[in-house]
Amino acid sequence: MDNGLVRTRDSAATLVLLVSLYTFELSGLLLAIAIPRSGGKPILSFLASRPGLFCLVAFPILVASSAVIVHQYRMSRRTGSRQFGLVVMMNLVTVLILLTVGELAIRVFSFQTTEGLVFMNISLLPRSWGDVVVRNHGILKRASTNDPYLVYDDLMGWTIGPNRRSADGLNFSSVEGIRSPRSEMAFADLPVTYRIALIGDSFTFCLDVKYEESWGNQLERALGPEFQVLNFGVPGYGLDQAYLRYYRDVRPWDPDVVIFGVFPHDLERTMTVYNLVSFPEWEYPFAKSRFVMNGERLAILNVPPLTPEAIFSKSSIKDLPFIEYDRGYNQADWQWRYYHHSHLLRFLISRYPLWPVPSQDVSEVAMKSVNSELMRSFVRLATAEHSIPIVVYLPARKDLRASSPHPEGAMGFEQSVLRSAGIAYTDLTPCLLEVSPFDRFVVGARHYSPQANAAIANCLREVLVRHLS
């Protein structure tokens, strides 16, 4: 046989083997990343997720590349060629060089922060309780230099302090601890015919805009001088804390209408106990109470929550009461293992974390049942108190990416919870879709712009007129 033809055939076989080896290793890596992220989901549900789709693509590629490698090995055994071993050695050396370069790059370009070691804006696991304590001691020290806007509360975990001004100068509170246009004012002293109370999180409170630009104040002006709108919203609240805010702080005002603003992330917050665990990027050094289902009824845990000082006096995160009820807590994330000596492996674990099988108390089923019962309890209680309960859905950015509202069959988890709970609600997504995409959120911030707040106020005015008539 012609020597040139033989060399060409050997080169082609070498290239095929080399590509198959790299493909095998890459598909194996994808499966190693994707399979542990099943989180105990049913197989069909997992395969419909992004990690599941990776598995559907990577598995047949792994099988095909394995078949090619086995075929090439058998051919080399038959012919007595050493080419297979040389190619495998070349592959292993290349992979070893890439791993070494990756390890060195992460070690060189990672940097230490108050949240631990960070590379490419990703905090490298495992997390350190000591780093968390130091960071939050700094937050508490800065807050102690003046009266903080948010203060510890023995029921909700935190609330708005009375007669306060926020550090950015945008937010004030009244003597009652309600968002106001200025401090040292009392809403109870103002004459009123109809009183409307708002409860919810920062999208109800309207962070990042002035009081006059908030949808609550714009709604008050649109309704006329007979109406008073009291904004009991508190940044960072879940549905559970908003419910407790209504139960303890709003009911004594005997409002004619109570508007409950539901933002998608609120349902997740209901399943937490410590913000520093589930949302470490937030500077909220607080704990909160936690609802669970006791049969078909709600039961509340962790009352009163630990004060910030008590939280950070603990020697270990495992010493925090009810930490196992925090949906964001994964014990493995806080334990140092021998393989954490590799910065590359730490980065991969942090970038593609495992999805542990959740316990019954923090599962998606529990999240749905607890939040559903909270909303039903709110509607029942407000109705019994002779108030008109109005639930409104405040859309997130993901809801506004479509050119039209989601059809009923394609609604998100949050709206499906409201619907399955039998809660009639007003979806404000269509109202915000009328605002230019460039004007819906404050530039460089996460919350609604003045234009978006005006659109919400305009829509809610029509809703209120219908209810009050």
Point out which residues pair with 199 in neighbouring strands. 260
The radius of gyration computed from the CA coordinates of the chain, to the nearest angstrom, equals 28
Per-residue pLDDT tens digits of the chain, which is 469 residues long: 455 544 566 677 788 888 888 888 888 888 887 776 666 667 777 777 777 787 888 888 889 989 988 888 888 888 877 888 888 898 899 889 999 999 999 999 999 887 788 999 898 989 999 999 998 998 888 877 777 999 999 999 999 999 999 988 899 999 999 999 998 899 999 988 999 999 999 999 999 999 999 999 999 999 999 999 999 999 999 999 999 999 999 999 999 999 999 999 999 999 999 988 999 888 899 999 999 999 889 999 999 999 999 999 999 999 999 999 999 999 888 998 888 899 998 998 888 877 666 788 888 899 999 999 999 999 999 999 999 999 999 999 989 986 445 544 456 788 889 998 899 999 999 999 999 999 999 998 999 999 999 999 999 999 999 988 7
CA distance 433 to 136: 39
Say what the pLDDT of residue 402 is: 60
Residues 278-305, buried b or exposed e (16+ Cβ, 10 A)?
bbbeebbbbbbbbbbbeeeebeeebeeb
Burial class (CB in 10 A: 0-12, 13-18, 19+), 469: exposed
**CA-wise closest residue to 394 among 446, 439, 441, 456:** 456
Cα Dmax for the chain: 105
DSSP codes joined into one string, 239-268: HHHHHHHIIIIIGGG--SEEEEEE-TTHHH
Q: Which residues pair with 198 in a beta bridge?
A: 231, 259
DSSP one-letter code for 305:
P
Which pTM value belongs to this model?
0.84
Q: Which residues contact 222 (CB under 8 A, 6 or more apart)?
A: 457, 458, 461
Q: Report yes or no: 83 and 7 within 8 Å, Cβ to Cβ.
A: no
Q: ∠237-421-229 over CA atoms, to 5°?
A: 45
CA nearest neighbour of 203 among 179, 184, 223, 174: 179
Amino acid in the structure at residue 377: S
Residue 336, judged by CB atoms within 10 A of its CB (0-12, 13-18, 19+), counts as: exposed
pLDDT for 22 equals 87
Element (H, E) at 425: strand 425-427
CA distance linking residue 238 with residue 288, whole number of Å: 10
